[in-house]
A and B are shown apart, each in its own frame.
Chain A
Amino acid sequence: MAQYLILIYEDEAQYATASPEVMGEVMQAHNDFAAQVEQRGVKLLGGNALQPTGTATSVRGGSEVTDGPFVETKEALGGYYLIDAPDLDAALAVGKLCPARFGGVEVRPVMTFD
């Protein structure tokens, strides 16, 4: 087994204007996701949603403090899951299940030091 981080990149503007019904569907989708992952021989180790990039502050070179995310992009990092999967195919299968209706996800292996 190996750990992978599923990074969720989505268009924040869509969430800012989403109706309560849509937000309810998104919450439900994430709850369903958590249940489905376990059925695939993959363990969900953790995960969080992030506040929008408007709340982010970046620090460059250890001193320069600026308002905003490190990189400005239309689809911004908005949340993540940490999973434990046997291989990339299993991790990608979970990546395909992961809700991201306003964007997509990136699957990255976590580095191990031994």
Chain B
Amino acid sequence: MTADETSAVAAAVADAHRREWAFVLAATVRVTRDLDTAEECVQDAFAAALTDWRTSGIPARPGAWLTTTAKRRALNVLRRRGVEQRHLPLLVDDGTAPGPDELVADTDAGIPDDRLRLIVTCCHPALDRSAQVALTLRLMCGLSTAEVARAFLVSEPTMAARITRAKKKIAVARIPYRVPSADELPARVDAVLAVLHLLFTTGHTAPAGEELVRRDLVERSVELCRMLRGLLPREPAVAGLLALLLLTDARRETRTAPDGRLLRLEEQDRSRWDRRAITEGVALVREALRARPPSRYALQAAIAAVHAESPSWRDTDWHEIVALYGVLTQVWPSPVVALNRAVAVGFACGPATGLAALDALATEPQLAGYGYLPAARADFLRQLGRLREAREAYAEALLLTENTVERDFLAGRLRELTPEQG
């Protein structure tokens, strides 16, 4: 076997890991009814692929090959182990244990897609948000505990404990491994969307650290959202979130200057925005806005679409954006949304009106300690020529911001306003 063939197999296995992990694991969990055992069997199947595919060739449908291999291993493990050695109770499912055909299906397309039950189990409301996020990365994306820990800036033992505790709760409290009933589904999908959105925003603007975009988290969240869209093509909220992620990520390449400095929307080179992502996102927004009431993601995506379709910052339809924020505050009342609306009011009606709208939020307890409020005030004050107050506001924003790139931006603005320079 040549080095080229070996690397082709390694690439095929890596690709299958990326695309098929959740599918293979979800199917294997139905056999083992135990997350840990299923994960081990799936890992073994991927390891087997690395050697087997060198001799037998890369299968036409790697996902089916891996699923069959993982399920066979699972059956062997269960047979060997026996029930008495198990320390955690089995997962509760809907009683539709896979039949013999499914277990050996090798070339048929007949393997049922269990990814929806896996992701709603990861994001069950009885688990706290940090556990939902960790389980989603671990079980849906096949990330190692170390990788998940790095993504969220916690130590590996802390993350391992969090994942173990969550798996234990799923088994002991009997969180069921099944697709929720039609009346429960919307709320359960909302929880999944909240997790995917959090993954994206964590990657998009890392809360601390040197790198503005943690690419992997962003790409994983977009892939998972695409997967969910495939599983639930008629859920408008899913279309809304996918639109929001695509339209936001379309600006990725233009968000920082070559020196790493943060570029604001008005400074970004719009010719370098990802047109394909924008076209797809805008079509999804239209679909998502048909829901009554539209989801918060659909409205946020609609705002992003106004920016994406505007030829320049100066041409931005700020009145449309203020109107969309108005609807958004009704669907999803949040002080941060109110803050964004106030900033948009400033662009639509001038800095004095914007400043008044911002100052109306000054006593909002949830915005205390939120760096974007003083940063936005500083900007309007600067435009109004109230430089002493603008300096104070930039200094306050600096105290409240941890991200290095954002800090550099604020510090730069503050330097521009120092008295000796004018």
Binding site for B on A (CB under 8 A): 2, 86-89, 91-92, 109
Shortest Cβ gap from B355 to chain A (Å): 41
Task: Tell whether, in the assembled complex, residue B126 and residue A2 are in contact, meaning their CB atoms are under 8 Å apart.
Answer: no
Shortest Cβ gap from B29 to chain A (Å): 15
Question: Chain B residues near A91 (CB, 8 Å)?
Answer: 174
Question: Chain A residues near B154 (CB, 8 Å)?
Answer: none
A-B contacts counted at CB < 8 A amount to 23
Query: Measured between alpha carbons, how far is A2 from B173 in the docked complex, in Å?
Result: 9
Given contacts A87-B176, A88-B173, A89-B176, 14 further A-B contacts (CB under 8 A): A86-B92, A86-B174, A86-B176, A87-B174, A87-B175, A88-B124, A88-B126, A88-B174, A88-B175, A89-B175, A89-B180, A92-B126, A109-B172, A109-B174
Question: Chain A residues near B126 (CB, 8 Å)?
Answer: 88, 92
Question: Chain B residues near A89 (CB, 8 Å)?
Answer: 175-176, 180, 184
Contact of A2 among B124, B174, B184 (CB under 8 A): B174
Q: Chain B 137-178 against A: per-residue CB contact (8 Å), 1 yes, 0 no?
A: 000000000000000000000000000000000001111100
Shortest Cβ gap from B116 to chain A (Å): 15
Shortest Cβ gap from B201 to chain A (Å): 28
Which B107-132 residues have C-beta < 8 A from chain A? 124, 126
What would be 15 A-B contacts, judged by CB atoms less than 8 Å apart? A2-B174, A86-B92, A86-B174, A86-B176, A87-B174, A87-B176, A88-B126, A88-B174, A88-B175, A88-B176, A89-B176, A89-B184, A92-B126, A109-B172, A109-B174
CB nearest to B181 among chain A residues: A89
CB nearest to A89 among chain B residues: B176
Question: Chain B residues near A92 (CB, 8 Å)?
Answer: 126
Question: Chain B residues near A88 (CB, 8 Å)?
Answer: 124, 126, 173-176
Question: Chain B residues near A86 (CB, 8 Å)?
Answer: 92, 174, 176
Shortest Cβ gap from A78 to chain B (Å): 23
Question: Chain B residues near A2 (CB, 8 Å)?
Answer: 174
Query: Measured between alpha carbons, how far is A109 from B170 in the docked complex, in Å?
Result: 11
CB nearest to A2 among chain B residues: B174
Shortest Cβ gap from A87 to chain B (Å): 4
CB nearest to A108 among chain B residues: B173
Shortest Cβ gap from A104 to chain B (Å): 14
Question: Chain A residues near B174 (CB, 8 Å)?
Answer: 2, 86-88, 91, 109
Question: Chain A residues near B124 (CB, 8 Å)?
Answer: 88
Query: Measured between alpha carbons, how far is A109 from B168 in the docked complex, in Å?
Result: 12
CB nearest to B180 among chain A residues: A89
Query: Measured between alpha carbons, how far is A88 from B125 in the docked complex, in Å?
Result: 11
Query: Measured between alpha carbons, how far is A109 from B173 in the docked complex, in Å?
Result: 6
Shortest Cβ gap from B420 to chain A (Å): 57
Question: Chain B residues near A87 (CB, 8 Å)?
Answer: 92, 174-176
CB nearest to A90 among chain B residues: B176
Q: Which 5 A-B pairs have the closest CB atoms?
A: A87-B176, A87-B92, A87-B174, A109-B173, A88-B173
CB nearest to B91 among chain A residues: A87
Question: Chain A residues near B172 (CB, 8 Å)?
Answer: 109
Shortest Cβ gap from B163 to chain A (Å): 19
Query: Measured between alpha carbons, how far is A91 from B174 in the docked complex, in Å?
Result: 10
